[in-house]
Amino acid sequence: MEILNFHDESLVVNSKLKSYLASYFDEDTLVLNDTRAVIIPQVLPHIEFVGSYDQRILSMLNDTNIVVSKPYYPSIIDYMNGLWLAKNINVVSFENQADKTLTQIILEDEEKIEKLKSLNLKKLAPFFIDDKASELASKLWLELYSSKEIFDLANNKLKLKKFLTEKDLPIIDGEFTSDSKIIEEYFNKTGMYVFKDPLGVSGYGFWNNKDNKLEEILDNYGGKEIIIEKFITKESSPSIQFFINSEKEAIIFGFTDQILEKGQYYLWNSAPSIYASSSVETEAIRQSEHILEWLWELWYIGFGSIDLIVTEDKKVYATEVNARLTGGTYPTITSFLLTGKLDSTREYKTIEDVEENIETYLENSVKNSTDKWIFPICITPLDNWDRVQVMEIK
């Protein structure tokens, strides 16, 4: 498998990233960036405004089709067009229902299905592939880039842990088990141990023997294998961004630092990583290349991120694959399309309590000066929740 990374082959990776974007999101593709699909009630709680995040992908797209939840404002596309982003996008918007995914909303309405079928497309690029995504693809006569089985394998932390163990790559001490007695044994140890649901997302689905009760873990793990790891003090949690295509090629096009609340829950990210051009970056890329080989063997095709932790003594551990578009994907690609560089200095974060309306915010948002640009990646939440996700490029 050919794997190129932005550190060693920046110009080639730049060119390939543009090519992959154009081929993955093309005129025959229907994009369904329904971030609500990751909400697993026992793992990740419902977030009221998450439906608005369907539109975070808009600045990455050209010459394709996308379904989003309302409210949708054409002025956002007009604004992006002025920056040579989001060109020739056919946007279809449907009413939002907070307690349902966009996929479910479409499946329950034959008129919506017929409207999408009339577009005569060929491929479906959903944010999350589950039974509902497979059903929707079938109803629309579209091909999925990846099957549910492959998607589940690629995102399973337990499968990754087993792969790392088999390949003698660095792993955090611990084990994986479904035996409640072993779980109890680790829970009662004097040291701190973390218990992970293999499908946990955004820091949810993790428990430990200091802040949680044994009953919480036993009630939630459901008899499945879970990951048990010794708690280690980490210095940071960087993330590698990648793309794998169908021709046995892959690129690593980003290395960002994740900012976490209490060291666990994802908040925002920044780039370049504090470890840029260091031995930590070299080791992160080395481990990621092995993981990309593994993902290819699973036949996973598409975008994704590999999350890592770096300890205070600069040891690097890969902890999970998010085989989908992630919070690192949108700003990395958007800043690349705006600046032509993958190593621009930027922060991607949520701004709360914004009093401006959408039109005013768009008029005043980008400041093309010697200091920085402020680019709104997801502005729709201003409508009801006075919040916006922005990228500051310095």
Return the CATH architecture of domain 174-230: 2-Layer Sandwich (3.30)
Sorted by sequence, the CB contacts under 8 Å of residue 88 that are 6+ apart come out as: 62, 63, 64
Max mean pLDDT range (151-155, 230-234, 383-387): 151-155
Looking up tokens 């497309």 gives: 121
Is the full-model pTM beyond 0.85?
A: yes
Q: Which amino acid is at 376?
A: P
Q: Which two tokens stand for residue 184?
A: 């109890």
Q: DSSP secondary structure string, 308-320? A: EEEETT--EEEEE
Residue 263 has pLDDT above 90, yes or no: no
pLDDT mean over 87-107 = 93
Residue 141 has pLDDT above 80, yes or no: yes
Cα separation of 295 and 252, whole Å? 13
| Contact status, residue 69 vs residue 32, Cβ threshold 8 Å | no
Residue 196: the pLDDT is: 86
pLDDT tens column, 251-261: 999 999 988 77
Residue 311: the pLDDT is: 94
pLDDT tens column, 201-242: 666 678 889 888 999 888 877 788 888 999 888 899 999 999
With CA atoms as reference, report the closest residue to 264 among 44, 17, 16: 44
Residue 10 has pLDDT above 90, yes or no: yes
Q: Which amino acid is at 303?
A: F
Gyration radius from the chain CA atoms: 21
Residue 91: the pLDDT is: 97
Residue 369: the pLDDT is: 54
Residue 183: the pLDDT is: 92
Residue 159 has pLDDT above 60, yes or no: yes
pLDDT mean over 60-89 = 94
| Contact status, residue 110 vs residue 139, Cβ threshold 8 Å | no
Q: Which residue has the higher pLDDT, 77 or 266?
A: 77
* Arithmetic mean of pLDDT over the chain: 90
Residue boundaries of the structural domains of the chain: 174-230
Cα separation of 212 and 364, whole Å? 46
Residue 50: the pLDDT is: 82
Split at pLDDT 50, 70, 90, the class of 283 is very high
Residue 368: the pLDDT is: 54
Residue 274: the pLDDT is: 95
Residue 3: the pLDDT is: 97
pLDDT tens column, 50-65: 888 899 999 999 999 9
Residue 158: the pLDDT is: 87
Looking up tokens 């790392």 gives: 164
pLDDT tens column, 23-49: 999 999 999 999 888 776 655 666 777
Helix (H, G, I), strand (E, B) or coil at 176: strand
pLDDT tens column, 312-359: 999 999 999 999 999 999 999 999 999 999 988 999 999 999 988 888
Residue 85: the pLDDT is: 95
Cα separation of 18 and 277, whole Å? 24
Residue 43: the pLDDT is: 55
pLDDT mean over 139-158 = 93
pLDDT tens column, 109-137: 999 999 999 999 999 999 999 999 999 99
Compute how many other C-beta atoms are within 10 angstroms of the C-beta atom of residue 190.
Answer: 5
With CA atoms as reference, report the closest residue to 307 among 293, 318, 294: 318
Residue 299: the pLDDT is: 95
**Above pLDDT 70, what percent of the chain?**
94
pLDDT mean over 161-183 = 92
Residue 264 has pLDDT above 80, yes or no: no
Is the Cα torsion angle 271, 277, 281, 286 positive or negative in sign? positive
